Amino acid sequence: MYKLVALDMDGTLLNSEKALTSRVREAIKSAKEQGIKVVLASGRPFEGMLPTLKELDLDGADDYVLTYNASLILKVACKSVVSSAILTGQDAIDLNKLADKLGVNILAYSMTRGLITPKQNEYTDYEAKLNGIEYSEFDFNMLDADEDILKVMMIDQEQTLSKAVEQLPKSLQEKYSMARSTPFFYEFMNKNSNKGMGMAALTAHLGLTAEQIICVGDAANDLEMIKYAGLGVAMENGSDEVKANADYITASNDQDGVAHVFEKYVLN
C-alpha cells in the first residue's frame, strides 16, 4: 500500500497556467483524508512553494517539503531543517567564471542574501516573478568563499544554454548534481542533492520504504526520484528520458494527470 506521494510542481502538479485544477485539488484532499502523506518536491525556493502548500493545506505541523531540488528538506509549519546539502560561495564564484566564459547568464540562491545575479536579465526576472520574490544584482566575486549557497543556475535562451551545456567540463559531473529543469534553466546543486536522495532521506526520517512511495514528475530534475520510488510516474508532457524511466505515464498537466495517479493508485 502506498503511504506517501511526492509531486513536482511546474509541469506536473500545476497546469500550463501555473494553477491547480479542482480535480487535482480534490484528489489530494481525498488522499489526505485517507491518511496518505502528500509532499511537494520542487526546484523552487520555499517562498515560491508556500502559496501552493497553503492552497492544498500542506502547511501543517506534520507536513514536509523538498525545496531547491531537495537541497533543503523542511518541516513546513516551523521551517525546521530535516536534511540539507548545499553549496558554498566558492562554488558560485567558480561557476560564475565558467558562465562568463560560455556566454550565459547566471543566478544563485544565497542563504543570507536571497536570490542574486551579477546583472539584470529576463531569466532572473522570470524566476523572481514565478516565485513572488525579489532579487538583487551582486558581484559574485564579492561572495565569501564559505557562504551558504543553496543552488546555482545557468540561465539563458534555449539554444544558447544548450550550446553552453555541451561545453561544460566533464569534471563538473564529479563535483555537482546537475539537471536541466526547463529549456532555459540548468541547475547546479551539492553532489548529494537531488530529488531522489531527498526522497530517500525523507523516507528514512518517516520510517517508510521506497516501495511505499509514489513520485510524479516531468523534467530531468525529477528523474532521480522517479527512479527511486516504488512507483515512478512521468507526465505525458514530460521529457523522453523521464518517460523512459517511469513505471507509469499519466496524462499531461493540462489533463489532470496528477489526479489520474491518485484515482488509479491511491483512492481506489
Considering the candidates 8, 91, 222, 256, report the single residue annotated as catalytic: 8
- Position 225: which residue type? M
Q: For residue 222, give the DSSP letter.
A: G
Is residue 254 a contact partner of residue 44, using CB atoms and an 8 Å limit? Answer: no
Q: Which three cell numbers stand for residue 157?
A: 535562451
Report which secondary-structure segment, H or E, holds 186. strand 185-190
> What is the CA angle 44-49-51, rounded to 5?
150
Phi-psi region of 261 (alpha: psi -120 to 50; beta: other; left: phi over 0): alpha
Residues 6+ apart with CB under 8 A from 48: 42, 130, 131, 132, 133
**Residues 236, 72, 114, 122, Cα dihedral to 10°:** -20
The DSSP code sequence of 15-78 is -TTS---HHHHHHHHHHHHTT-EEEEE-SS-HHHHHHHHHHTT--STT-EEEEGGGTEEEETTT
Q: Mark whether 91 is an active-site residue.
A: no
Is residue 164 a contact partner of residue 95, using CB atoms and an 8 Å limit? Answer: no
| Enzyme catalytic residues | 8
